[in-house]
Amino acid sequence: MEKNNNTTNNYEQEIDILALFKVVFRAKWRILTFVVLATLLAGMVTFKLTPQYIATATLLIEAEQAKAVSFEEIYGLNSNQKEYYLTQFEVIKSDSKAREVITKLNLSEHPDFISKPSLIGELKSYLKGVIPFLPTQDSDDLLSIEEQQEQRMLELLDKFKSRLSVNPINKTQLVNISFESSDRRLAALVANTIGEVYIESQIKAKLGITQQASSWLNTRLSQLRIQLDNSEAKLQQFREQQGLVDIEGIAGLVTQEIEQISSQLVAVRAEKNKLQSISRVISEYGDLDVELLGNMPEITSHKVIQDVKREVILVERKVSDLSEVYGEKHPKMISAKAELAAVKLNLNKQIKGLVSGIQKELNRVSRTVLALERDLNEIRNKYQDITSKETTYNQLKRDVETNRKIFDTFLSRSKETEVTSDFTAATARFTDRAYAPKLPAKPNKKLIIILAFIVSLVFAVGMCLIFDVLNDTVKSKFDVESKTSQRMLGIIPFVKLSRKEKLPIHAYLDDNFKKFSEAVRTFRTSLLITQTERDLKVITVTSSSPSEGKTTTSINLAMSLAQVGSVLLIDADLRKPSIGKRFDIPAFQPGLSNLIVGTKTITECIVKDELSKLSILSSGQVPSNPLELLSSDDFIQTLDELKTRFDHIIIDTPPTQAVSDSLVIAKYSDSVVYVVKADSTRVKAINAGVERLFESKAHIAGIVLNQVDMRKATEDQEYGYYDYHDYTDTQNA
């Protein structure tokens, strides 16, 4: 299935492309004529164009400019940046450079820059001479001489810059300067002059900057010298006022002294705190209980007390050892106990002495702390004074050093500027000068003619396709069925005749119009086959608008049906009847209107065409109220009576968009044949007419496509293959 779908899609694409090709092929002569004319016109214009020559000079813009010494800080430019080159390219194209070249070469007198009078200007001048009340002066004549010169210069600048092109060569320091002119020597001269003017202006600008920098440096240098002298004087005055020799060394000594006293004060304060804690304990427990004092950690921690207690412990151990050997009254025991008592007595004595000496030591340490704190405060005050002087001294010293450094820098730059003030190094140089070209650069006549041919061909083909797409008329069977949703009954081909010649009334029966006759027969057959389920007695023929061929279709359909039965052709267009004129029926001949009113009988109104065996009922006398007449019961009765006498009745009616007569008649008809003029009637008009017929409850058999140009027909228009070929000759043979 997928393969079949792809095949179908490809076939549809081929059909669409073929249809587009046929649209182009039908308009081939118009396209060819347009292309030839456009190409000839382009060739004539091209050969009249003045040849233009383009000369090119190449400049090298230096990245590292030659200089005697380096002082870019003064100039404020960096030639290594990309913006530097872009700036130079814009400088070359600037108006100032263009003005210099125009003035230097006197280009205002060259023909390329002399304005030619325009058609509008000449017309204005002519009208001023012919019409007296028009102002004789232009607005330009009212300008001052300076303003006119400036306006003229602006015009020259526009023309000059339109001919100038400055193109940098990618990834190089080269730039091409090109100028276009009808004079090949002038083109080369201008290109070279632009480069020369640019180089000269850069040298002048650099020299001016150098001189300006030198002048500014000298002025600034004198100011800096005064500023340096003032700062040195302030520093010296401060030294003398404060008597400073080596303020940095003095500050260092004071700092060391502060550190030493601070460390001593910390140690003495620790000792004082310790003595204060012992003194508080003694004050709490009193100094009489020696044993209690001896157990105090503050007392026992003293070295003297620890030594005595160690001795007491040794003696007690000795007494304990002797008590195990000797009795209480043994001399050694008595001696040992006496020694123990003496040691304990010494311990108590030492404790009492220590307690009594703690207060004295505390007083001494307190005095020492006060003395150290006093000394520390004095030294701190002295240090703050020295620090303040040192800060002021350093500030004055920094001012002197900064002013001296700036002065030295400007002094060296000033000397460098003086040395290089007359040094002029070019910022650019020619690598290739422009020479007068031998051949013009444009116009490229061959290319213009070829492009004109291609563009005109594409334009013509495109317009043909666009007009074909925008054309919403009916041209084929496909258009009829897809755009109107109606059945296609047949195609009536267009019969080519001379301007004064008309289609013969009996063309259907004429052997000179075989293809036309076969098309009518095919239409008749299609109508009869498609309407087999209906009693096809009354057939109404109508169209959307006049001149679509509905009357011709009615006549030929009636003649074709007359070959197989009795047929009556009725001209129901009571407003603009035409069938009577076609068959040369006199105007006084009674017809449909007389029959409806009842002033004449059927026999008196009907005319017989002997050649086609066709019965004709003309419109008769033109009534003042045709719509009321056709809507009356008399018309219905007349139609019913005619049905009994003829096999088929063909009624030619007015167009649906003009009047409502055809809508009234269609209600009483068995089928309606809708005639459409090929490639002329718009789809909107057709659908509107068909919709009106549906609203009147008429049965539409289908559409007949009339006046089809078979030379332009596409495949989907080949409706009735045998109608348009020479098979009729074979059949007759």
Residues 152 and 263 in one domain: no
Residues 6+ apart with CB under 8 A from 404: 228
User: Nearest to residue 410, comparing CAs of 209, 216, 208, 233?
Assistant: 216
pLDDT value at residue 655 = 92
pLDDT value at residue 293 = 61
Residues 6+ apart with CB under 8 A from 660: 627
Residue 3 belongs to a domain: no
Burial of 530 (0-12, 13-18, 19+ CB in 10 A): middle
**pLDDT, tens only, 448-460:** 889 999 999 999 8
Residues 222 and 267 in one domain: no
Prior bond of 443 cis (ω within 30°): yes
pLDDT value at residue 568 = 94
Sign of CA dihedral 431, 437, 439, 441: positive
pLDDT value at residue 722 = 39
Residues 77 and 98 in one domain: yes
How many Å apart are CA 537 and CA 284, to the nearest integer?
Answer: 153
Residues 534 and 633 in one domain: yes
- Going across the sheet that includes 53-61, the strands are 164-168, 174-181, 53-61, 428-432
Low-confidence ranges of the chain (pLDDT < 50): 1-15, 66-79, 714-733
Tokens (6 digits) for 359: 């207060």
Q: Which residues pair with 174 in a beta bridge?
A: 60
Which 8-state DSSP code applies to residue 330? S
Residue 460 belongs to a domain: no
For 2-20, b/e burial (b = at least 16 CB within 10 A) is: eeeeeeeeeeeeeeeeeee
Q: What's 593's domain CATH number?
A: 3.40.50.300
Residues 6+ apart with CB under 8 A from 381: none
Residues 235 and 256 in one domain: no
How many Å apart are CA 327 and CA 336, to the nearest integer?
Answer: 12
How many Å apart are CA 385 and CA 295, to the nearest integer?
Answer: 53
Residue 625, H or E segment:
none
Residues 6+ apart with CB under 8 A from 42: 448, 449, 452, 453, 456
Residue 195 belongs to a domain: yes
Residues 525 and 662 in one domain: yes
Residues 195 and 210 in one domain: yes
Residues 614 and 707 in one domain: yes
**pLDDT, tens only, 260-271:** 888 887 888 887
Cβ-based neighbour number of residue 76 at 10 Å: 8
Residue 35 belongs to a domain: no
pLDDT value at residue 562 = 92
Residues 222 and 275 in one domain: no
Residue 135 belongs to a domain: yes
| Cα angle 93, 99, 101; round to 5 | 85
| Cα angle 161, 164, 170; round to 5 | 125
Residue 124 belongs to a domain: yes
Cα 585 to Cα 550, 579, 598, distances in angstroms: 19, 8, 20
pLDDT value at residue 119 = 56
Domains identified in the chain, total number: 3
Tokens (6 digits) for 428: 């650019």
How many Å apart are CA 28 and CA 39, to the nearest integer?
Answer: 16
Cβ-based neighbour number of residue 407 at 10 Å: 19
Q: Determine if residue 691 is left, alpha or beta; phi over 0 gives left, psi from -120 to 50 gives alpha, anything else beta.
A: alpha
Write down the residue that tokens 């809708």 correspond to: 674
pLDDT value at residue 730 = 35
> 306 lies in which domain range?
247-420
Residue 38 belongs to a domain: no
Q: Name the maximum alpha-carbon separation found in the chain.
A: 202
How many Å apart are CA 567 and CA 559, to the nearest integer?
Answer: 8
Instruction: Please tell me the number of Cα atoms within 13 Å of 156 on its side-chain side.
Output: 24
Residue 465 belongs to a domain: no
Residues 239 and 251 in one domain: no
Local structure of 348: helix, strand or coil: helix
pLDDT value at residue 76 = 45
Residues 622 and 723 in one domain: yes
DSSP-assigned letters across all residues of 533-601? TS---EEEEEESSTTSSHHHHHHHHHHHHHTTS-EEEEE--SSS--HHHHTT--TTS--HHHHHHTSS-
The pTM of this model reads 0.49
DSSP-assigned letters across all residues of 464-527? HHHHHHH--B--SHHHHHHHS---EEEEEEPPP--SS----TTGGG-GGGHHHHHHHHHHHHHH
Q: Which residues pair with 567 in a beta bridge?
A: 648
| Cα angle 278, 284, 290; round to 5 | 75
pLDDT value at residue 14 = 45
Residues 583 and 663 in one domain: yes
How many Å apart are CA 102 and CA 109, to the nearest integer?
Answer: 10
